[in-house]
Amino acid sequence: MPSEKIKISILGATGVVGQNYIKLLQEHPWFKITDVAASHRSAGKPYEEAVKEKWQMSIEIPKEVKDLIVRDVQDFDSLKSNISFVFSAMDLPQKEDTKTIEFKYAEKGIPVISNSSANRWTVDVPMIIPEINYNHTEIIPIQQKNRGISKGFVVVKPNCSIQSYITPIYALEVNGFKVEKLIVTTLQAVSGAGYPGVPSLDMLDNIVPYIGGEEEKSEKEPLKVLGKVGEKGIINNDSIQISATCTRVPVTDGHTACVNLKFKNKIPTKEEIIKIWKEFKSVPQELDLPFAPKQPIIYLENIDRPQPRKDRDNDKGMAVTVGRLRKDNVFDYKFVALSHNTIRGAAGGAILNAELLKVKGFLK
């Protein structure tokens, strides 16, 4: 690895996900934040002043970041020439605008690793969970060719809740137990709505049984993640059916998913499933990437786990925690899965994507 760290920028640095990047990247061995950008409302202010009302992290703003002057994400001319790539955590009112801005960075030779849903359905943009579809980086050259881009590209990570159930499903699939159907009910934390997010009077003593667009994402995104590389982009998996209900619950961090699953033909025993989950490892672990959890799926035997407050920080918030595997009267099995939405589901997951891209030679 190079002795000098790779200089990077955070777009949307003032938001909940942006703040998580700033916390998580403090001591990163390869990457260093030297530029922060947000809306015109924050532009021109020192970072500390731009976030003073809304800093949510449990640490002080790191000294290397607090005096950086926030750039407008659309002020491409002020982007320092030594920035190698950007993490995008913007939340613009119109997704099309986010899409356009991300590709403008790519056209200017800057790789973009994004949390936004804006480019998730762009067919030549890989949507990566490194333990699952690490090979989808193969469509980056196709994306560059399609668009006449030479150095830059856009890579996204999926929605903040899906890794909690898709990683355990993928582990079963690669071990020969093909899944036919899933019914998923998510209980999603308030931090998933950004800051200031859902009004407190809607959340306290309450559950909101609707999150705009979330059920469609939960049903469709896994099919791209589990898809294969085609000549023009990703060809979605069409063999798994998913039905999702997504709810917002009064939990700060950590999205829970209650899952019922039906296998195609071969049905594993409960012991086989637990063994597969406990032993599951993939490319990030083989490559020993700095943000890779040692054990991507942690199975807890205790009957009342996983719980967000107790289990969301497992392996620094990067592991998926699973429990309550039991027979289902309608499908074959049911279980409960949990992952940290702003770490594994957002900033941490994207940092792991960047590490994979770096090792594969896409980030210079």
**Residue closer to ligand NAP (CB basis): 15 or 277:** 15
**Residue closer to ligand NAP (CB basis): 70 or 179:** 70
Contact 9, 37 (CB under 8 A): yes
SS3 211: coil
**Residue closer to ligand NAP (CB basis): 90 or 259:** 90
Nearest to 154 by CA among 98, 193, 192: 98
Please report how close the Cβ of residue 98 comes to ligand NAP at its closest, in angstroms. Answer: 7
Please report how close the Cβ of residue 56 comes to ligand NAP at its closest, in angstroms. Answer: 9
Of 28, 136, 255, 340, which is the active-site residue? 255
User: Cβ-closest residue to ligand NAP?
Assistant: 15
Q: Which residue has the tokens 């980056």?
A: 140
Of 28, 160, 246, 340, which is the active-site residue? 160
> Does residue 255 have an active-site annotation?
yes
**Residue closer to ligand NAP (CB basis): 25 or 274:** 25
Please report how close the Cβ of residue 41 comes to ligand NAP at its closest, in angstroms. Answer: 4
Tell me which residues touch ligand NAP (CB under 6 A): 12-18, 38-39, 41-42, 73, 89-92, 115-117, 160, 191-192, 194-195, 341-342, 345-346
Contact 73, 14 (CB under 8 A): no
* Torsion angle, alpha carbons of 15, 22, 309, 261, to 10: 80
DSSP bridge pairs for 183: 243, 260
DSSP bridge pairs for 31: 6
Please report how close the Cβ of residue 163 comes to ligand NAP at its closest, in angstroms. Answer: 11
Please report how close the Cβ of residue 64 comes to ligand NAP at its closest, in angstroms. Answer: 18
**Residue closer to ligand NAP (CB basis): 115 or 164:** 115
d(CA 301, CA 310): 14
Contact 354, 85 (CB under 8 A): yes
Contact 1, 28 (CB under 8 A): no
SS3 270: helix
Q: Which residue numbers are catalytic? A: 160, 255
